[in-house]
Amino acid sequence: MNFRGIMARQARVLGVAVSGTLAFATLVGCATESDSSMTGEFATTESAVAQETQIESDPPVVSGRVVAGGLVTEDLGIVPAGQVMENVRVERVVDGDTFKAVVDGELVSVRIIGFDTPETVKPGSPIECFGPESSDFAQAVLSGADVTLEFDDTQGRFDRYDRVLAHVWLPTANGGQVLYGAEVVAQGFGEERQYGDEPTTWTAVMRDLEQEAKAAGLGVWGRC
């Protein structure tokens, strides 16, 4: 069963009517993308996706062992609120907000939602300020980790190029979970980003953390 089949099966378990084209529309959610920056973010051509520069991975690290002094959002007390898929192995980090994972034998691209990081691999675009640092952070935290994907009905399940759209949760040493996007924003490796008119599940949390990072001059806010 491929990844879309798994999504359809989970939707049926939740009592969602899934059939043919209606199933695709239901899963994708057709999120309105009114933010003008969406063009540069989600409108990557298929050829551009194929040209993504591969970041050479260091040996996998223990999940939760990160750069910049460690996890800073463990005490937020938040847990996944939407439908989840657990134990998804990160095979390759592309940049600060995208990675490759294998699900049921199928290699899929995951675009982590709720934030944006500076570009490092976009064809035809320069490497942006603090982009390498953001990618290094993603490498340290995500590479080889078994993560939980949380789907958000405000954003849909896939973008137009079949990248999976999800929040990502990291397991911690004490048995808890940390929202990767919250960690990125809290440490200044990226900024909160909402596409379309409807906030994501974690938009309010991200915005509060972003204000704190700005005030402290962390990451992009102090360097760029």
**Cα(153)–Cα(199) distance, rounded to whole angstroms?**
10
Look up tokens 């949380």; give the residue: 150
Find the catalytic residue in 74, 163, 198, 207. Answer: 163
DSSP string, 62-117: -TT--STTS-S-GGG-----S-EEEEEEEEEEEETTEEEEEETTEEEEEEE-SEE-
Per the annotation, the verdict on 193 as an active-site residue is no
User: Which residue(s) pair with 103 in the sheet?
Assistant: 106
Per the annotation, the verdict on 157 as an active-site residue is no
DSSP string, 116-144: E---SS-TTSPPPTTHHHHHHHHHHHHTT
User: Which residue(s) pair with 102 in the sheet?
Assistant: 89, 107
Find the catalytic residue in 111, 150, 183, 191. Answer: 111
Task: Give the gyration radius of the chain's Cα atoms.
Answer: 17
Residue 143 near residue 77, CB atoms below 8 Å: no
Per the annotation, the verdict on 119 as an active-site residue is yes
Find the catalytic residue in 33, 52, 119, 192. Answer: 119
Dihedral sign for Cα atoms in the order 206, 207, 211, 214: positive
Residue closest to 93 by CA, chosen among 127, 72, 117 = 117
Residues marked active site are found at 111, 119, 163
